[in-house]
Structure 1
Amino acid sequence: MAIRDAERQRRRRLRAVIGSLLLSFVLIGSAGAQTASPEPALEGEAYSVAEDAYKAFSQGDFQKAAASARTSVTLRPDILRLRLLLIDSLVAAGNLAAAEQATSAALDTFSANPELQGRQASIRQRLAQQPAGEGYKALERGDPKAAIRAARKAVEYGPDVMSYRLLLLAAQLADNSLAGAAETASEAIKLDPGNYVPVVWRAYVYQKLGNRTLALADFNAALAKPDLTDTEKKNIRLIAADAALASGDFRAVQSLLQDYSKTDPMVVTRIGDADAVAEGKATLKGDGKAMPMPVQDCRDTPYGSVCSLQAPPVQSVATPIDKKAEGMEAASKAFEAARAKNYGEAITEAKKAIEDTPELASTRLLLINLQLSAGRPAEAEATATKAIADGLATPEIYAQRGFARSRIQNERGAMSDWETALKGGLPSDQVRTVRLALVDMALKVRDPARALRALPRTGLDYEFTIRRAYAYQALARKEDALRDFQSAERLAGTNVQRDGAIQAQINTLLELDRKPEARAIFDAAIARGQLRSIREADLAYVAVAVGNDSVALQLFDRAKAHGALPPRATIDAGYTAMRQFQNPKAIAYLKEGIDAKADGRINIDDQKLFETRRTVADLTRVWGVNSSISYGKVGSAPNPFLTINSPASTYTSQLGTELYYRPEEFGNRNGALFEVFGRMFETLYDEAGGPTGLRSTQGMVGARWKPFSEHNLVLEVDKLFKLGDAARDDTLLRAAYSYTVGTDLRAIDTHWPTWYIYTEVDRFFEKTQLIGLFEGRFGHSFRLDPISTNLVFFPHAVIAASYDDSFAIHDAYSAGLGGSIRYWFGETKYVAPPSYWELTLQYRFRLAGDKRAEGIFAQTSINY
């Protein structure tokens, strides 16, 4: 609470500082305005309300400042500084729409005021940012009509911002609204007559509309713009050349590109087509509408968003006329051999075709495809690289080189080639395959941002939607990923696709710590008969993750019955059965896992194996014996059951033995235990000469219950009956709690930290008595491997406290040092050693309370 209060105070101070700064600007602006044109003085109610507004503004309470300023404006609409205060208060409060309305209203009164105009421009620019962002998102998800609506709103708020006009243009092109796009481009040209980008876009639109004359005029106008860089000029010429090729105007292409090297990858295909037509070796066909779309690149600068255009990589559009017969015959033979899967002969013939027609990209592509089919990706990569170097670069060649590079683990090179192919007008029947390959590779190399860029802007089906979801997931945008996984489920065309999307939703919800929602989706899918395409063992793990152990165990059992349970899953199936209280099945699964480890079918470390064997030991335990002999002062030993009448500071030695039974059917429910027992205690030695031997023998029967699996709380009821005349008949209620770390044997570590705390409260009823005990031991365990790997030495510090209202001094507190030796025994292949013998020796120093707290304490015990 204190932290939250401090944070609120910090935020209030920050708002106050910001408010003071903004107020300073208001006052400075007002002062300037008054110098130019003095305003009437405020008085009366208008003065009081305005003073409240300025005060609230300076304190960071912008909502109150806006309310008071609005009242002051109502009272004195002729005061400019009150209008400015209202506008600035609304802006500071985040109410931009109201601020824009207040600015427009103020301009009605103070027309052409530069301060108001400046504020209006700033406010509208901020208002435009939201619909602009929505427009980009709509384009990304393939909704051009929504993008158009959002872009128009952005243009309305920011009519002078070129990037909003270009956003609207892109949306209209995506919607194939060419007439609207031409109009938008014209408006953008008026907005910034010196910018070549909207001029080229309008030329592109005119070309798509079939108006070559207007398109040519705009291309020429763009090239005539002053201050163009060499890169900008080159890209305009390349784009204009694409339009000329689409119109069959090879001379225009030669004229546009004559100043550039014919080996330039961006020039070679375009000039090659034009030259082939000029030499009568090829023809150009088309109505001018099929030119490839330019690529727009926008970047943020301190002066706003700046956009440029780039020419896309292209493929040849010329149709050869005179082809060498030998080359065609060799290519035909290559195709025939490929159909017969005789790739060696096919590759030989394809190479002959290249020798006869080296100028044809198609023969190069044929050889690349054959080399890929023959499993020779390195050769295919070399062939493609040479074709590109020879000036025969086509989108298909780039695409196939990408596939070759992917097979030789050149992932970055593959992605670069695929991106080039997609930008260059790859045939539509190949676009989908290349995009999917690019996205998958980007996800593989953990470049999810690149994967997102590769996704199409429209028409996202299941394959693209689920990949976008995985990209969002990799970017930790889990809510976006969840949304797309849900969309993928709706778009799924097969059970496998649907089940994969549902499983991904469940996993994402688990990552978001929304386990109840994940459980609800899983349970509903199971009830509808879904998720059956997922392997039973894998689906069992999903069930475990959402907390449905009942279904998980059914799936593990089904997988085992079908012979499809992986060895790694046997141990997990065992623990699932244990949580379902099916102990015999749990034991069988765990033993199978232990066998799998022994046979080398699973790879788990020795500690995991030991813990599995320990679980088997716990599940198979039905009865046991605990016996101990302790030595210490009366009231200090952790045994409150004996009746000893000696002074509290005298030493005694006691023997205690317990035989307990744990019912097989319900005694162990996933670590929640129930046991019945019989005990016998006897005093062996009493320094004060009190009763010993048979006279002190105390009998006891009872039951105990550990209700929680994860917490070691034990509740117990006992009936005491005397076997010796110094014992007693009584009824006891007992509660004990312990927390332990490192008290079990370990299989890998040779030493480890160890500590535990133990506390109990005992209430006797016939002879009213209340006892409380606490003990903590803190130290480090060492496995004495030179003697035995089952022998552990535990030096430790001890703190102890006891309360007994039957003594004159009820409480006693002590601390000391000690050590324990514990030897574990009784292990088998499947069972970790279930029994141990232990010897403990301590010396305790009294801290407070009775003297019984100090002295020697020793105990030897056996747990069998």
Structure 2
Amino acid sequence: MRPRGEARRSGAARRGRSSANVLRGRAWRLADQGFRAYNRGRYELALQRAEAALAIRPDVPRLQLLRVYALQKLGRNDEAARLAAQAIAQGHGSPELQTALINLRPAPDTGGAPATEAYRKGFPIATEAYTLYNDGKYAEAAQLAERAVRIDPSQGAWSLLWLNALENQQKFDDVVQYGNVAMALGAPNRDAIMARMRLARQAIANQHAQDAYAELNKGRLRQALAQARDAVRIAPDVASHRLLLIGVLQAMRDDAAAEKAATDALSVDEESTAVQLLRAYLRQSLGEPAKAQEDIDAVLALDWISPEQRRNARLIGADLALAAGDKPRALALLQPLPADDKQAEARRAQAGRGWGSWGDSGADLLAAHAPLQLCRDTPYGTVCDLAPWDDPGSDSPASRAYAAYGRQEYPKAIALARRAVAEQPDSEANQNLLTTTLASGTAQEQQEAMDRLNTALAAKPNDAGLLRQRGYLYNARKQYDLALKDFVAARSTGDAPETNMLDEAYATAAVGNRPAAAAMLRQAIDDADAGTITLDRQQRFDTRSAIANFSREWGVNASVGYRGARSASNGLAGQPISVPGNSVFSTVEAYWRPPDFLNSSNRTFEVYGRLSNTLRSGTTVTGAQVVDNPCGGTINVGESTFKGTAGWPSTTGAIGARFTPDAGTNLTFGIERQFLLGTATRSGALNAGPDSVRCALNNQAATIDYQGNKASGGWQAYMLYGFYEGTALRLDRSSWYTMEGYLQAGYTLLDHGVAYTERDAAGNVLGTGDGRLRRGQGFAAGEVRIGRSMLTSYSDRLVVFPHITVAGDWYSTQGRASGVPLAGASSFALAGNGTSWSAGAGVGVNLRYWLNEDRYNAQRSHADLALQYRARLGGEADRAKGFFVTLSYSY
């Protein structure tokens, strides 16, 4: 950290500082191995690695200090003192090395009378303290050193002995406390004491940081945030602690707070390139692309950064520009990079294709292409840099595996995780990473993940993290009862994160206990309000949406539709009359979900009742034309008009049941009994198919009417496949990609008794009889809508969905009348048998307003207004083209 009044160093000085602070290649690896060995108590190995590293880089004080500390731990104090003095004489010293030398060389007895009475009294106590210290008895040494200091505080070496003895016991808080006491008593070596206190504070901060990482790995974000804030408060000049705090806030999905933390970090060190680039990413995620690019420019303006850092800044800036849809800016950033730079070329190609087009949103791209945070331990502490998401030269396969996993590139993530484990098999984090990635792989890889988890849990049966990992894997394998058991066991350990409650609730719903799951999620809302669990705005909304879904037992859907051509799906005898023209149709349906039968978070079973009819029927005009005479020749037919039936006479009803066995596949099966309620649905005039029958009727100038009874009806069986992405309300962004569609197929059979009446042109009855009217129809229909949903400035509950659409249908109809009072032809096929299809495409817009919410439940109702215009692609023109308008309400 630089004092505010210090003049800016020259670029050359900064470059010199940068190169001195970084170990590379073999020297870095040896130093890293040495410090790790020292931390594990393997002092001989630490000494060997330190000496090997010093042979390459003798100018690094921390390596000198590592060698001295290792020798001291091995009891070779004289050698340690000699080498420390030698390093200092050669100009490779540091305050810490000076302190170590003083500690290794206790003040000798000059043989003469002590300078003061205090020194005479304190000297033997200090001598004994040194002896105890060198024997590793640090607690006793600290006690005696404190006594000596309080007797004669002018002996600075005794104060350092006291603090070193406390440090070796890892009593870092005491080092800070008693360092202040020693200076208050009058110790003359204030700089050395303050250096020791600074190291102690860093050690305290490091412990908070380690605790934060541990809590973060367990998913306990609130606890991780508190520890990260303490680490930054105690050691504000340590960049890795600042990055940790920013990372925790990102994990909590609080990008605004993370951006503020980055700004605070830059106020301490304005030349931290990692923090500046990370703030650029955060600003882009907050919808501030101009400010994001200002941060990129600030990094590029630094004259001391390495070519690799400059290149990475350009690539990251290009990613942010592409996510914002600013292709010129992206190309400008990439322009200085050579043509053979594969990463730059990939971004140039992406700019040519254009991110942010249909199917991709900037926010989704930003999340999938987040920069990598590459951190490494050095003799000067942890150093972090930011690299682009596809950095091939990263020395951290674990970081790249996490990034690939976040982009759902699971085979790549698995390969990188295997490499991370091969390089560091003792790393528990890498082992967990491999298990996590395997759980998203093939069935064979998922089984490997399960075997690893079972082995790990056999050794540590109460590990909450492992239990939760296995619970997620059981969920993926649809073994929901076992998943619930693991989430409950994780909670029982007391080490599960706060969000375990949510996982347990969803697993409870998956096994069929939806009411209990809803109750657990209500408790989560209460805990969030009380501050004991962290839910951001979108997480709270998703939780409330789940409550609304799990507690729902019944509902009502109503719709009114206007279309220039009515779909022939209701063109059967006994269905609402289907005629070309501007007609308005309605449907009202009520459904019930039995709470204790078949329903879970993954299955839905409903019984329902439905009424449908034509509210207003358009008029069909048939122009004058010449048609074939079924008896031979032709007939001139004049212009005629026809208006279809509307209102109650056109009403049909149905009672049915439908079942979705797996929400993952979203395939629904249904069966219903249909009722011909309106008089027009069960009566009409027969239109014979065979020419011989129509000729006989023409010769008599006769027609045949039919009339069914009130019990008339039919059966329909069907299956429906639906696919939906982005159709739910979002509160974490203003627009998002949306695709929805369905494909339905089924068969309807109407076979009921009717009374036939044959009449002549004057209305006289020529004959009557009882017979049957049978009509079967197979059908298939589908539609796809693709576009972007956007929140409006009017309300965050009003969503506009402009889209393109493609729709089609196919029908195969077979109808037959039997028992007809017509001489020689009592049974015949009806006209219109055969198949027909239509297909159309066009554009449309949908307005959806969400409503009916409370504290626990998100919006349980919505009103939709959909308008489309389709052009005919093929098939029946009257069905395929025209305006299609639907107003619907779901309660």
- Normalization by structure 2: what TM-score? 0.47
Which is strand-richer, 1 or 2? 2
Which structure is higher in RCO with an 8 Å CA cutoff and minimum separation 6? 2
Q: In proportion to residue count, which structure has more helix?
A: 1
Give the alignment's TM-score, normalised by structure 1: 0.48
Larger radius of gyration between Structure 1 and Structure 2: 1
